[in-house]
Amino acid sequence: MSNFREDFPIFKNNPNLIYLDSTATSQKPSLVMDWLKNYLETTYSSIHRWLYDISEKSEKLYNDSKKKVAKFIWTDSYKEIIYTYNSTYAINLLTSSIWLSKQLKKWDKVLLTEVEHNANIIPWLILRENIWIDIEYVKLDRNYNLDLDDFKNKYDEKVKIISFTHVSNVTWQIFDLEEIWKSKRDDTIFIVDASQSIPHMQINIKKMNCDYLFFTWHKVFADTWIWVLWWKEKLLKELKPSFSWWWAISSVGDNCFTYAKIPDKFEAWTQNISWAVSLLKAFEYIEYIWWYEVLEKYENELVEYFLDKLKKYKNIKLIWSNDSKNRLWVFSMVIEWFHSNDVADLLADNNIAVRSWKHCAHSFFDNIWIKHSFRVSLYIYNTKDDIDSFFNIIIKILNNK
Ligand SMILES: Cc1ncc(COP(=O)(O)O)c(C=O)c1O
């Protein structure tokens, strides 16, 4: 398994680096980087507008990458895929377009979970300031799953949007969204933030039955570049994009314009063509590691190993789920008497990269007794040796208290 590490040049160039921050962003395999360099040296050009050779080739590669994405999440048409800059941008584009299209009105309600990432809270708060919608937060139950009773109580006839994360970037519990879509009415739009699930599991959009799904690919071997799936072509056609320019518009006069067809209507800007094209190789890399099966098997192995080691240290508290089945290979922890930022600093002094503080879920942390945590996140290039090194430094920290 540890062979995968060799595919990632960052570790050749930083042999002592122990990278435990992959949920923030993942490292890139040489397959992706070499392909990108080759593309930039041989084929790079503008797309959509020109007929010369490299532009046509680039356009084909761009569309091929969308076709891969469509197949990957089991949707029928690549035209339902829209590329934006990242998840944050995607949800902002969606909320502002919903606003512009008047799909929400005063006192309509939006349901979120109490562990949403700021990216899926702030755009709704902005809408609340402008059109007076209500926002309610569904609580977690004792096992850190969605509290379905609380959901049922809050899901009244005023709810027009449900926007939930699939996997929380705080608790790392995988939410069972089946119960949500099963009880969802036709007058409600169901949005899923898959930013943390896509790096670890395959998503079948037909089974998940949501209306919009958004995620980011820089957490899965490609760079800071993302797509949004606006599932359900019908909804996409009804939505007006909140900003636009040529290419998103099919004709323009002094006093009039018409929108282009989907997906162009939502891709007004010059695309990040090279990184879209690089996705083709990120997929190839996933295929090379036998899709998610190997990832999942290895993940379970490292989770067990980590949890087993953790048991020995009574003053390190793993917060939220300690369930080794319905969780990802990410661990949020606190150490008695230590500020999480200090722990992260001491680890950084020893070349160990982790993340600390409120993990972009400020309102959640502000409402509970734990005010911050530090987080270890593993990926395919991590090994048991990395986990051992992490605990060796933790022992030093504890001993020097
Ligand atoms: C659950 C969740 N949603 C959204 C985001 C925002 O992603 P991006 O930085 O690509 O905008 C993150 C990033 O960590 C996340 O964990």
Which two structure tokens, joined as six digits, stand for 61?
A: 């590669």
Q: With respect to residue 316, please indicate whether it lies within any of the assigned structural domains.
A: yes
Instruction: Tell me whether residue 40 is in a domain.
Output: no
> For residue 36, is it within any domain?
no
Please check whether residue 33 lies inside any domain of the structure: no
Burial category of 352 from C-beta neighbours within 10 Å (exposed 0-12, middle 13-18, buried 19 and up) = buried
Residue after which a domain boundary falls, among 286, 303, 331: 286
What is the average pLDDT across 226-243? Answer: 72
* Cα(25)–Cα(221) distance, integer angstroms: 9
- Prediction pTM value: 0.89
Which of 86, 117, 191, 217 gets mutated to test ligand 1 (max ligand atoms within 8 A of its CB)? 117
| Whether 314 and 272 share a structural domain | no
Whether residue 203 lies inside any domain: the answer is yes
Pair 261, 298 in one domain: no
**Atom of ligand 1 lying closest to residue 219 CA:** 10
Question: Which of these three, 286, 321, 354, is where a domain ends?
Answer: 286
User: Which pLDDT does position 118 carry in this prediction?
Assistant: 93
- Pick from 278, 169, 300, 162: nearest CA to 220: 278
Q: How many domains does the chain have?
A: 2
Distances (CA, A) of 297 to 134, 184, 223, 321: 42, 33, 25, 19
Please write the tens of the pLDDT for every residue from 3-22.
Answer: 789 999 999 999 999 999 99
Q: Which residue's CA is the closest to the ligand 1 atom numbered 12?
A: 195
pLDDT, mean of residues 325-336 = 80
User: Per-residue pLDDT tens for 118-152?
Assistant: 999 999 999 999 999 999 999 998 878 899 999 99
Q: Which one of 225, 252, 286 terminates a domain?
A: 286
The reported pLDDT for the residue numbered 229 is 61
Nearest to 210 by CA among 241, 174, 240, 184: 184
Shared domain check, 307 and 272: no
- Is the same domain home to 189 and 57? yes
In a domain, 30, yes or no: no
Q: Which of 28, 33, 1 is nearest to 386 (CA)?
A: 1
256: annotated active-site residue: no
Spell out a b/e string for 187-209, using b for 16 or more CB atoms within 10 Å of the CB, else e.
Answer: ebbbbbbbbbbbbbbebebeebb
Any residues with Cβ below 6 Å from ligand 1, and which?
A: 86-88, 117, 119, 165, 169, 193, 195-196, 216, 226
Give a three-class secondary structure readout of the chain.
CHHHHHHCHHHHHCCCCEECECCCCCCCCHHHHHHHHHHHHHCCCCCCCCCCHHHHHHHHHHHHHHHHHHHHCCCCCHHHEEEECCHHHHHHHHHHHHHHCCCCCCCCEEEEECCCCHHHCHHHHHHHHHHCCEEEEECECCCCCECHHHHHHHCCCCEEEEEEECECCCCCEECCCHHHHHHCCCCCEEEEECCCCCCCCCCCHHHHCCCEEEEEHHHCCCCCCEEEECCCHHHHHHCCCCCCCCCCEEEECCCCEEECCCCHHHCCCCCCHHHHHHHHHHHHHHHHCCHHHHHHHHHHHHHHHHHHHHCCCCCEEECCCCCCCCECCEEEEEECCCCHHHHHHHHHHCCEECEEECCCCHHHHHCCCCCCEEEEECCCCCCHHHHHHHHHHHHHHHHCC
**Residue 100, domain member (yes or no):** yes
Residue 77 lies in a domain: yes
Please indicate, yes or no, whether residues 266 and 329 belong to a single structural domain of this protein. Answer: no
Q: In this structure, are 66 and 201 located in the same domain?
A: yes
Structural domain for 54, as ranges: 45-286
Helix axes 87-100, 122-131, angle to 10 degrees: 20
Ligand 1 atom 7: residue of nearest CA: 87
Nearest alpha-carbon partner for 266 in 235, 291, 311: 235
Tell me: do 178 and 118 sit in the same domain.
yes
104 vs 278 pLDDT, higher one: 104
Q: Given ligand 1 and candidates 26, 87, 358, 375, which is best to mutate, with the most ligand atoms within 8 Å of its CB? A: 87
- Return the pLDDT at 401: 60
309 and 277 housed in the same domain: no
What is the CATH number for 223? 3.40.640.10
Kindly state whether residues 245 and 390 are assigned to the same domain: no
What average pLDDT does range 338-350 have in this prediction? 94
Asked whether 160 and 110 are in contact (CB, 8 A), the reply is yes
235 with 303, same domain: the answer is no
Do 294 and 269 lie in a common domain?
Answer: no
Q: What number does the ligand 1 atom closest to the CA of 226 have?
A: 10
The CATH code of the domain that includes 363 is 3.90.1150.10
Q: How many CB atoms lie within 10 A of CB 149?
A: 11
Tokens of 32: 């992706």
Catalytic residue among 161, 360, 361, 378: 360
Q: What pLDDT was estimated at residue 11? A: 96
| Domain co-membership, 169 together with 275 | yes
* Residue from 21, 220, 360 whose mutation best tests the ligand 1 pocket (most atoms within 8 A of CB): 360
Which of 121, 119, 122 has the alpha carbon at shortest distance from 137?
121
Q: Which residues, in sequence order, are CB contacts of 195 under 8 Å at separation 6+?
A: 87, 117, 119, 165, 169, 214, 215, 216, 219
The predicted-structure confidence for 86-95, as pLDDT tens digits, reads as follows 788 888 989 9
* pLDDT tens readout for residues 174-233: 888 888 988 899 999 999 999 888 888 888 888 888 889 988 888 888 766 556 666 667
